[in-house]
Structure 1
Amino acid sequence: METDLAALPKVLLHDHLDGGLRPATVLDIARQEGYDALPADDVDDLARWFAEAADSGSLVRYLQTFDHTVGVMQTREALARVARECAVDLAADGVVYAESRYAPEQHLRQGLTLDDVVLAVNRGFREGEEEAAGQGRPIRVRVLPSAMRHAARSVEIAELTVRHLGDQVAGFDIAGAEDGFPPTRHLEAFDYLRQHNAHFTIHAGEAFGLPSIWEAIQFCGADRLGHGVRIVDDIVLDGVPVTEDLPAAIARAATDPRAFELGALAAYVRDTRIPLEMCPSSNVQTGAAASIEAHPISLLKDLQFRVTLNTDNRLMSATSMTREAGLLVERAGWTRADLRRVTVNAMKSAFLPFDERLDIIEGVLKPAYDGT
């Protein structure tokens, strides 16, 4: 089954550029740039450190992993290289369309401007697309500049996004700690994006619950939700919140989806087809889900929410789209039809013109999954 999964075309909407570097690249750039804070000086040891730090249960240690990846992404050359390798690695994993997000404000330590950062990353992705095509693995990559929700540059990043729309840049994201930093702190940025017809997604419903999701949708106007797993807090089965026994709820949803009662917010999310960018392995690492088997993605899929499957941080989770799909098949009972659904969902939800989305759905995804 692993070979079959690897060969299937995939669509990835939620992947952090600074969370997907090759360990060898981290070491190589660190040596070139004189970055001497890495916790290991061997590729295997460094890869192991990233995985162990991300699995440690310590938020402080988890965040340290990004200190190191961002630390080596401070020059045009480094940014372009990381983006190029990202495109090549995703294509090798069977990804045919991807949206990569990163925070330009985190890459200014050596004198680059925000526009310098965007241009370098865009160049790297174009080079990666060309390299992957030359290897017989065509891929399209688009970029989502992210603002950090604990900082005060969201309007500036929104303006940056609008300046570069259409040049690899497809939309905007806001990321960072949810608790204590509600998205409504950045309403000016979201208003600006809407006024300029720009798409945006908001990290919501991962570390914080329904209020975060409600604000992201009803106050900020998010087109998509990054993660959104906590929407299950608004679903009831037989008078009992499904969160009290998610495995039982998941089993029931597979055969009796109409037995569930959706609260007003959950119903709104489902009715309006707001896409949920779900990242199973990452959610287990951060405690947003107890396990792959009990991850809300399976329940929400069977309740007909617009669920998509994603990697989040490939380096920290030691994962890929093939691995994420494999985990759901092996441990949550997913079928090829389930994978087809979430893949088509993702392409429908991409920040790409309608006709281009349709071309990929009808010309690439459906023929591969349907065997036609």
Structure 2
Amino acid sequence: MSAQVVTPLFDNAYDEGWIASLPKVCLHDHLDGSLRPQTVIELAAEVGHELPYTDQARLERWFSEAADSRSLARYLQTFEHTVGVMRTAEALERVAREYVVDAAADGIIHGEVRWAPEQHLSEGLDLDAAIHAVERGIVAGESDAADRGHIISIRQIVCAMRQNDCSLEVARAAVRNRSSGVVGFDLAGPELGFSAELHREALDYCARHFLQVTLHAGEADGVESIRQALHEGRAARLGHGVRIVEDLTRRQSHAALADNVARLPHSHDVSLVPATSLYSMGEVAAWVRDRRIPLEICPCSNLQTDAAPRVSDIGATARTGNSSTGWAREYREHPVELLRSLGFAVTINPDNRLMSRTSMTREFLKLAHEFGYEREDFLSVTLIAAESAFLPLDERNDLVDRVLAGYSTSPEVGS
């Protein structure tokens, strides 16, 4: 069983190899968004599911082009083909096993993969049987990775779909299957129009049973969705959360600030002025920042779905709906670095490897090339992720130690 190969994006092979080797912690990855194209083709043939293409390269390109539509609704349509082939226990087990092997090859040492078992019951599986199948695949994948010299731990986050009405049943299944590696609950699917409040019973059930919650919020909807995730869901993390920047107000323009700095008695570089001098925060943003509620940021995915406000427009441009005006189009326009500079607990994640043609390594490479991330920056976001994992304290401490050990033995770039 070979790991999926991500096409290199840069000419400097050593830099890519170095970043690929860094220990990573992944908190936001969808199982049904991470299938190998060839696996989709083979599983589709087994169950008679019709695909747009049966050639691996053309199918991979189709997924990428369909996802790169600036529409979350269109993006989500691509899952009809991945979910459509994950109908049996054997298929779920295979997909989970391959996911773990690919994650290990990506440098991940701990990951929390999410998926919605309610979408995989058409062939007679129930929620528990589906969760157990994925767990068997994860265990087998961890063993495969260990045989290749990679120690990796993967846990499940069980999702309920916002547009459906079975979230309480899914939450109960998640709690029942803690011993099968389930560590959290999520609400996925269309965010706009399907508030967390609609799933209060499920969220209350998770709270009563002390099951950790991370909710998709601040991706396809704005600050109010984040507020509900915190209030109704008691979310310990925010899935994406990137639109928290809509709760920022710019104190003065960058040009005005530069002019004011130039008038000071001594010369100052405006680029060194703290971001907190440029923006004030609303109550939701301040709450999230001050309490270090982790943001599960997925930059490549955000660019595809118009989820990330363009950093130059933040705090100054009125935002209405999913207008193309004001949305980040290039990686450098994504507000990920602004969020870090403001003190938010930012983690970096791929979201959907197949649709976004990405990985943790690719995200790290883009951060290096667009924002100049270096060793300490990668270590910082990785430690935040490790400390935010839905694990017991002793396991989180061990994970932090593993991250630090990996960085202590990794050579510097270009050394």
Q: Normalised by the shorter chain, which TM-score bucket? A: over 0.9
Query: Secondary structure at the residue paired with 1:361?
Result: helix
1:147 pairs with 2:166: no
Cα distance in 2, alignment partners of residues 19 and 287 from structure 1: 18
Query: Secondary structure at the residue paired with 1:101?
Result: strand
Query: Secondary structure at the residue paired with 2:228?
Result: helix
Aligned partner of 1:2 among 16, 21, 33:
16
Cα distance in 2, alignment partners of residues 266 and 348 from structure 1: 21
Cα distance in 1, alignment partners of residues 236 and 271 from structure 2: 26
TM norm structure 2 = 0.84
Cα distance in 1, alignment partners of residues 339 and 82 from structure 2: 33
Aligned partner of 2:114 among 83, 97, 101:
101
Counting aligned pairs with the same residue, the percent is 52
Cα distance in 2, alignment partners of residues 110 and 256 from structure 1: 56
Cα distance in 2, alignment partners of residues 83 and 142 from structure 1: 11
Cα distance in 2, alignment partners of residues 148 and 212 from structure 1: 15
Conserved 8 A contact 1:254-1:302: no
Cα distance in 1, alignment partners of residues 273 and 372 from structure 2: 13
Q: Which amino acid aligns with 1:258?
A: T
> Equivalent residues in 2 for 1:108-257 (5 A)?
108-239=121-252, 255-257=273-275
Conserved 8 A contact 2:72-2:306: no
Conserved 8 A contact 1:174-1:203: yes
Query: Greater Rg, structure 1 or structure 2?
Result: 2
**What residue in structure 1 maps to residue 358 of structure 2?**
319
Cα distance in 2, alignment partners of residues 25 and 327 from structure 1: 27
Query: What number of residue pairs does the alignment pair up?
Result: 361
**What residue in structure 1 maps to residue 396 of structure 2?**
357
Q: Which amino acid aligns with 1:175?
A: A
**What residue in structure 1 maps to residue 299 of structure 2?**
280
Conserved 8 A contact 2:223-2:247: yes
Superposed displacement of residue 166, structure 1: 3.1
Superposed displacement of residue 264, structure 1: 1.3
Alpha-carbon distance change, 155 to 194 in structure 1, aligned in 2, over 3 angstroms: same
Alpha-carbon distance change, 105 to 240 in structure 1, aligned in 2, over 3 angstroms: farther
Per-residue CA deviations over 1:188-212 (Å, capped at 9, x if unaligned) read 1111111111101100001111100
The runs of 5 or more residues in structure 2 that have no matched partner are: 1-14, 255-268, 309-327, 411-415
Cα distance in 2, alignment partners of residues 53 and 330 from structure 1: 26
Conserved 8 A contact 2:347-2:381: yes
Query: Secondary structure at the residue paired with 1:170?
Result: strand
Q: Which amino acid aligns with 1:214?
A: R
Cα distance in 2, alignment partners of residues 300 and 60 from structure 1: 26
Conserved 8 A contact 2:72-2:220: no
Superposed displacement of residue 314, structure 1: 0.3
Cα distance in 2, alignment partners of residues 148 and 297 from structure 1: 27
TM norm structure 1 = 0.94
Query: Secondary structure at the residue paired with 1:97?
Result: strand
**What residue in structure 1 maps to residue 35 of structure 2?**
21
The runs of 5 or more residues in structure 1 that have no matched partner are: 242-250
